[in-house]
Structure 1
């Protein structure tokens, strides 16, 4: 088999890139080690920056998004139950975010793939990358017990934190930067109406909480928990009690309880790999960087990565110029690190850390109080939350 671009992984980065390249007449093949149901069923982020919304519209994939997505012009912060509002739309000159779950995004990408000729190989096992430092790279994998090989011009690793792509870069080249947080998020999904029409990020003496939603009838709640907590120790009633306590009485009065149909605990980390290019291999999305979910930057960074990369690949094939490809890593990393900074900062002011003393707590409270009283501070938060512009 031959193609121009081999894409490893059918998550957001891989599928957005495949659609972008298809619209420009560039051939690609997406290799995914799981099946569609698994990839589409993963519960992930639910907040899209305007850039991601614009990309879906440009690709002609936004019919359901425009019909069902919840446009938010603001968000809310809570300190020990006292809620204050950040008017992002006003502070940024009209920018908003849209609540639309990653599962819905993946459904739209997959549904359009077949009719548009986007080639996806499911259940591609034992993927390995070869000749990445040559002008004739290739990808090998096992499919239904048979060995397969794909020759290509470029390989794009979109296979997540544990994928083979980043591991294929020599240790002498790759630098990893990481911050592991000493807590996790316990999340539940329930078919109950949200307690508020916009998100609430709560800092409480017992820890962080987030009131979110997926639709007018489906809610997503998170609470900070210990890394060694077990799901079996968190009954639905216990989760709802803790959510209401941390959100405070105003929000709690509007919380509708119901049985959860999904419950999980996720660790938090910040991670960046540099560079995002080695030879004919390019990294995008979670293969290159991880952000804590505070601020919902993961999927949005994947979109900006592949926007930069698709532009560079189009320039290469149309103009025979390597300038965009050579600059891809530096260009993408400049935006990645700004998102990492915001996600780290937002996490640091909303969560309880194990070794916090009274001084640390007072600093946290002062930071949130400063944001509440300063339009300039709110503007900085809003600009980062809605998404910094592509350069």
Structure 2
């Protein structure tokens, strides 16, 4: 069995062109609940390049060199003594928690409870591209459902506005809104070039109104007091308050989440940051509350059970993933190029995926 592996790291906070490929020791199972996974594919998310650039170092400081990546698909190679749910040869996928971060490498170790079995009809590329964006959208919808007496049924027949409808999480939110939660009307914003891609990539009838934000101001294009649920991927949700119905809800991926969420998901967050987050949330909630609207900043957490639900949605054709490009791990310059595209956030539609290994090449 090989004792070393290839791994992508950032040597310090830097840009993708300065990322490094290195040979390092193959990880080993150290806890009875862990498994060793041969990585087949991994996908790039904005948080990967932001973290490597140092954009979130005020919350999370990294040791160097530091591994990259949360989304992964692969095959279980060996399991710890307490693992009974998985066995060698099982195809799996996951959005890893921060404690096991590092998917752009040939092997990784993580807890068995972090992994979900990959359906045979789901490609390894789709499996690598699906977890973070789909879990993010699902958890936003579920957190709103928890607030409502009628639960998830609250969304049925409602009007949902998704900002940046062909972003990773935005595309998942559009599909979930219409295909899973039964929204009556889905509105999304995209750039001019992407307008014709919406029905092609998300499915006919998923989005009912497409707003070209380059030609019209979405805050004016959306009818006042017409939106029940706003899914914000841009960071300015309060500018849409006049479009919201009383009793409506806003989920934002780009504003500070509640202090208790930060404390749970980022245990080492500085106390000063927690105080600031609390103050920002109080102001934001007060402003939204004047319109009778609820608002919450969201922060994803790993949930293998929810990913099982997403697997079934995928098999039922209710949710899909858009892949923009697949690079080979052996082509190091191409890998850096796809990371650069994600950092610049332009020139592509969908997820960037890196093919790392082959399921037919499992180590003995």
Which category describes the TM-score, using the shorter chain as reference length? Answer: under 0.3
TM-score normalised to structure 2 length = 0.27
Question: TM-score of the superposition, structure 1-length normalised?
Answer: 0.26
